[in-house]
Amino acid sequence: MTSMTSTTECPAPPAPTPRKRPLLRRLKALPPWSLIAVGTVTGGLAGGAYGVLTPPAYSATSYVVVVPSAESDPQSALGFAQAYGRVATQLAVLGDAQVWAGVPVKTLRDSVRSATSPDAPMVSLTATSARAGLATDMANAVSRSLIEYAKDTKGATHVELLQLSRAVKPTEPSSAPPALTGLVGAGAGVLLGGLALLVRPRPTAADAARTVAVPGPATAADAQGQP
């Protein structure tokens, strides 16, 4: 009795697919100017989009001046101006200002900034808001509240605060226009592109050898020296 055996043929292995060019080699092959160009365009577009999508902001500023009494001197008034500049954004002042401005204390704390001068006993109060009228109201409300706060301590400080200039409604936004933000973004893109150019891998001798063209095989006529 003859036994028959069957053999199963194994499928041929798939043909090897060409490997993709490594990312590192691609970066080396890029021309130097491409990184700066990409950074400039990307930064300019991002900066311009930020300027367009960000709502405009308006700023209004009011000024109060510290006036010394007969028992005080101008030098002490200058020192109290520095102190009142720090107190202007505290709860003791903003608690009353929120009533006149019609906004919460948190909004005043986030929107109002005070500044003083080292040469003049003056305090400036700047409010910023997406609405020009609200910025004006907040600046005037904080300055009014600061003046009232100074009246309560006049007996001890021997100085008083007076309104030097009320805030007026701004006619133009204080935020940067889209053209300026786009220019700033493009400048940042140039810097980032230059930095990427500095850290980019340099082509090596092995990379240069790979790019050398290999001559094709000679024809039979060339091999036999025939024309």
Q: Are residues 117 and 183 in the same domain?
A: no
pLDDT digits (tens, 9 = 90+) for 166-219: 999 988 876 556 666 667 777 777 777 777 667 666 655 555 555 554 555 555
Q: Are residues 63 and 158 in the same domain?
A: yes
Which pLDDT does position 197 carry in this prediction? 66
Q: Answer whether residue 145 shows pLDDT above 90.
A: yes
CA dist 69 and 63 (Å) reads 19
Q: By the 8 A CB rule, do 57 and 138 touch?
A: no
Which pLDDT does position 111 carry in this prediction? 93
Alpha helices, H only, 118-217: 132-152, 154-157, 178-199, 205-210
* Mean pLDDT, residues 61-90: 88
Q: Are residues 121 and 187 in the same domain?
A: no
Write phi, then psi, for 76 (nearest 5 degrees).
-70, -30
Which pLDDT does position 220 carry in this prediction? 47
> Is residue 85 a part of any domain in this protein?
yes
Q: Answer whether residue 69 shows pLDDT above 90.
A: no
For the ranges 68-72, 112-116, 223-227, the lowest mean pLDDT is seen at 223-227
Instruction: Give me the CATH number covering residue 148.
Output: 3.30.70.1130
> Is residue 20 a part of any domain in this protein?
no
Q: Are residues 44 and 126 in the same domain?
A: no
Confidence of residue 224 (pLDDT cuts 50, 70, 90): low
Confidence of residue 23 (pLDDT cuts 50, 70, 90): low
* Mean pLDDT, residues 88-112: 92
> Is residue 221 a part of any domain in this protein?
no
Q: By the 8 A CB rule, do 122 and 159 touch?
A: no
Which pLDDT does position 189 carry in this prediction? 72
Q: Are residues 40 and 84 in the same domain?
A: no
> Is residue 182 a part of any domain in this protein?
yes
Number of domains in the chain: 2
Confidence of residue 77 (pLDDT cuts 50, 70, 90): confident
Q: Are residues 153 and 190 in the same domain?
A: no
Which pLDDT does position 20 carry in this prediction? 46
> Is residue 19 a part of any domain in this protein?
no
Q: Are residues 38 and 65 in the same domain?
A: no
Q: Are residues 154 and 123 in the same domain?
A: yes
* Secondary structure element (H or E) that encloses residue 116, with its range: strand 112-116
Q: Are residues 156 and 187 in the same domain?
A: no
Percentage, residues of the chain above pLDDT 90: 33
Q: Are residues 78 and 160 in the same domain?
A: yes
> Is residue 171 a part of any domain in this protein?
no
Which pLDDT does position 147 carry in this prediction? 94
Which residue type is seen at 46? A
> Is residue 4 a part of any domain in this protein?
no
Percentage, residues of the chain above pLDDT 70: 63
Average predicted confidence (pLDDT) for the chain = 76
CA nearest to 140, candidates 156, 127, 123, 159 = 127
Point out the domain boundary residue: 108, 137, 165.
Answer: 165
Domain ranges, residue 191: 32-54+176-201
